[in-house]
């Protein structure tokens, strides 16, 4: 680490200790793969996650969302409070992330979309894996409103993936299924992995290990794309499935995709409140402070690849006191 980065990190952490108001940083992760993924080289993998946890454990007091909420209510958040969260319910959360969290004696909150447990696959992963495993040199994606793509190498496959994902993202659940079927046909119906998401036993394993389990709906829909009855059912059914799996209350929730106004709105905040959740998180960038909406806590994860630079940016983000605005 350069002297400049070292000074930035030291200064940022010292500033945190002098701030009069304690704040909470909430990190958001999805997958932690055993090895770097050539298609997504910047995504989290075991070696990097281990190094980050080492830095986080030294610099912050790590809480689950539920623990942080209890402190937030009473105004007793530690000066360097931080929560680690995972969205969706990937199997590598239990297989890779959990042992690393345990090594560093840290707890995290796992928001799980229950409809994909035990062999399911999220729509975005179907896109990724279809194009990853496609054996054709070219694919015609005119049915998706796109053109022809060459799949000669990793970079070209990533280009195709990045083109397809936003085209499908905001379609209804039924329209997504039709688009995925069209993509599979164009790619020659390759065999796709069926073990990307957790098994029910792994959810129970996380709970038994002291990790917090939170709701994330059943099928991870964009809530604003559903009618009110369907959105409410997604929220409630996901909660109930997790209660049945763990035999414990499910008190925290993460909005799928999580952008205020675009992916959820005031109606869905009220649904989450009526479903009995104590606290909920979005993906709006910010840190949690005394005035934050308890059902719309923001989250922020730095993007730096250097671990110390990552930590410095996280500390400086807290200094900005940007608490998000919600809906």
**What's residue 20's pLDDT?**
54
Q: Which residue, of 132, 159, 186, is where some domain finishes?
A: 186
Range of the domain at 15: 3-118+194-319
- In-domain check, residue 253: yes
β-strands 148-150, 138-140 pairing = antiparallel
The answer to whether residues 155 and 243 belong to one domain is no
Helix H segments across 19-142?
Answer: 46-59, 65-74, 91-92, 98-103, 123-133
List pLDDT tens digits, range 129-140: 999 999 999 999
**What's residue 1's pLDDT?**
42
The answer to whether residues 220 and 85 belong to one domain is yes
The tally of domains found in the chain comes to: 2
List pLDDT tens digits, range 29-73: 999 999 999 999 999 999 999 999 999 999 999 999 999 999 999
List pLDDT tens digits, range 205-264: 999 999 999 999 999 999 999 999 999 999 999 999 999 999 999 999 999 999 999 999
DSSP β-bridge partners for residue 110: 86, 213
At residue 149, does pLDDT exceed 90? yes
- In-domain check, residue 325: no
**What's residue 204's pLDDT?**
98
- In-domain check, residue 52: yes
- In-domain check, residue 49: yes
The answer to whether residues 91 and 136 belong to one domain is no
At residue 146, does pLDDT exceed 50? yes
Q: Are 246 and 281 in contact (CB under 8 A)?
A: no
Q: Which of 11-15, 157-161, 167-171, 198-202 has the lowest mean pLDDT?
A: 11-15
Cα angle 172, 264, 83; round to 5: 120
At residue 157, does pLDDT exceed 90? yes
Residue 12's pLDDT band (cuts 50, 70, 90): low
- In-domain check, residue 326: no
Residue 299's pLDDT band (cuts 50, 70, 90): very high
At residue 326, does pLDDT exceed 80? yes
At residue 9, does pLDDT exceed 80? no
At residue 10, does pLDDT exceed 60? no
DSSP β-bridge partners for residue 264: 260
The answer to whether residues 178 and 204 belong to one domain is no
Of 315, 327, 324, nearest in space to 263 by CA: 327
The answer to whether residues 21 and 164 belong to one domain is no
- In-domain check, residue 289: yes
- In-domain check, residue 92: yes
**What's residue 322's pLDDT?**
66
Q: Which residue, of 186, 210, 229, is where some domain finishes?
A: 186
The answer to whether residues 87 and 170 belong to one domain is no
Cα(240)–Cα(248) distance, rounded to whole angstroms? Answer: 10
Instruction: Locate 210 and state its tokens.
Output: 């002291």
The answer to whether residues 219 and 101 belong to one domain is yes
The answer to whether residues 112 and 140 belong to one domain is no
List pLDDT tens digits, range 84-122: 999 999 999 999 999 999 999 999 999 999 999 999 999
**What's residue 162's pLDDT?**
97
If one compares 18 and 235, the residue with the highest pLDDT of the two is 235
């Amino acid at each position: 680490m350069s002297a400049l980065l070292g000074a930035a990190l030291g200064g940022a952490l010292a500033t945190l200790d002098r701030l009069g108001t304690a704040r909470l940083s909430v990190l958001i992760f999805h997958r932690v793969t055993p090895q770097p993924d050539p298609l997504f080289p910047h995504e989290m993998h075991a070696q990097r996650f281990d190094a980050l946890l080492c830095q986080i454990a030294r610099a912050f007091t790590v809480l689950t969302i539920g623990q942080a909420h209890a402190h937030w209510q009473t105004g007793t958040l530690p000066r360097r409070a931080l929560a680690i969260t995972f969205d969706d319910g990937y199997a590598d959360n239990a297989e890779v992330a959990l042992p690393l969290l345990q090594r560093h004696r840290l707890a995290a909150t796992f928001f799980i979309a229950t409809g994909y447990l035990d062999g399911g696959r999220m729509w975005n992963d179907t896109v990724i894996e279809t194009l990853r495993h496609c054996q054709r040199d070219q694919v015609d994606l005119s049915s998706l409103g796109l053109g022809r793509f060459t799949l000669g190498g990793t970079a070209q496959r990533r280009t195709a993936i990045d083109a397809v994902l936003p085209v499908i993202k905001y379609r209804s659940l039924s329209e997504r299924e039709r688009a995925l079927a069209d993509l599979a046909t164009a790619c020659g119906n390759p065999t796709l992995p069926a073990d990307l998401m957790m098994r029910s036993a792994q959810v129970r394993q996380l709970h038994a290990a002291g990790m917090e389990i939170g709701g994330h709906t059943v099928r991870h829909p964009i809530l604003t794309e559903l009618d009110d009855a369907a959105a409410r059912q997604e929220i409630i059914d996901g909660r109930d499935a997790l209660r049945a799996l763990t035999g414990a209350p499910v008190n925290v929730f993460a909005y799928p995709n999580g952008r205020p106004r675009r992916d959820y709105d005031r109606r869905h905040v009220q649904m989450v409140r009526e479903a009995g959740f104590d606290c909920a998180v979005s993906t709006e960038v910010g840190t949690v402070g005394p005035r934050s909406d308890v059902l719309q806590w923001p989250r922020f994860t730095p993007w730096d690849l250097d671990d110390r630079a990552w930590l410095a940016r996280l500390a400086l983000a807290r200094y900005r006191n940007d608490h998000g605005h919600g809906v």
